[in-house]
Amino acid sequence: MTKIILALDFSDKKTAMKLVDNIDPAIFSLKVGPVMFIRYGLKFIKELHCLNFNVFLDLKLFDIPNTIFSAVQSVADLGIWMLSVHILGGSDMLKAAKSAIKSYKDNPPLLIGVTVLTSYSNNDLRSIGISSSIAEQVYLLSNIGKLCFLDGVVCSGKECRQIKNKFGENFKVVSPGFRLHGDQLHDQLQITTLETIKEDKIDFLVLGRSITLSKDPVTSLKNFIKIISK
């Protein structure tokens, strides 16, 4: 069954905690991205842990191998559940990230590789010198991630089935960009829909602005759970 990660894409902590205080950590995990991490730092992560939430720290780490090794160790020291690194950093960087958590025998963070941002189009890829399509690029980068022993990848739901068929059920897929019918797309082009969730094998669905930008995020989240449970 698909598990839910709620993205805390808020501009202030008070608004974020109003939602956090009304959800069950047994059902939801939380994603903290660069905005809230830069604003509120380690203290915020510790507060979420004290409330028994698993935290996905989505920083899309991308740097030279030595720096990534130290950065991943620092994250592992925080007790983070899941961490994102960018596969475009290359095999040496990914291997350094994996090596950094070898000494964490008990509950090391899941290392999830970012493939192609869901705001990208095929034209965006061509503009930065990549001639392959989004689907081809996601597959290529997923293969690199698998070879470097990452735990899974971030991609749109559109590519999920192909990745699962090729790399196996244990290779996790995290899919952001979810939209209900009638939702504004904002900057998301490669979206995940209810049909995608039900037809494909998405392990973790990231819920963001469809919930957080609604007038009543708590009610919107409850309504979503009712819909997906049908």
- Label residue 88 exposed, middle or buried (CB < 10 Å: 0-12, 13-18, 19+): middle
Helix (H, G, I), strand (E, B) or coil at 140: helix
Instruction: Indicate which residue of 3, 14, 18, 60 is catalytic.
Output: 60
The count of C-alpha atoms lying within 13 angstroms of the C-alpha of 180, restricted to the half-sphere facing its C-beta, is 13
Helix (H, G, I), strand (E, B) or coil at 31: strand
Spatial contact of 72 and 108, defined as CB atoms under 8 Å apart: no
Rounded Cα gap, residues 119 and 94, in angstroms = 23
Closest CA to 111 of 65, 162, 149, 143: 149
Assess whether 3 carries a catalytic annotation: no
> Known catalytic residues?
60
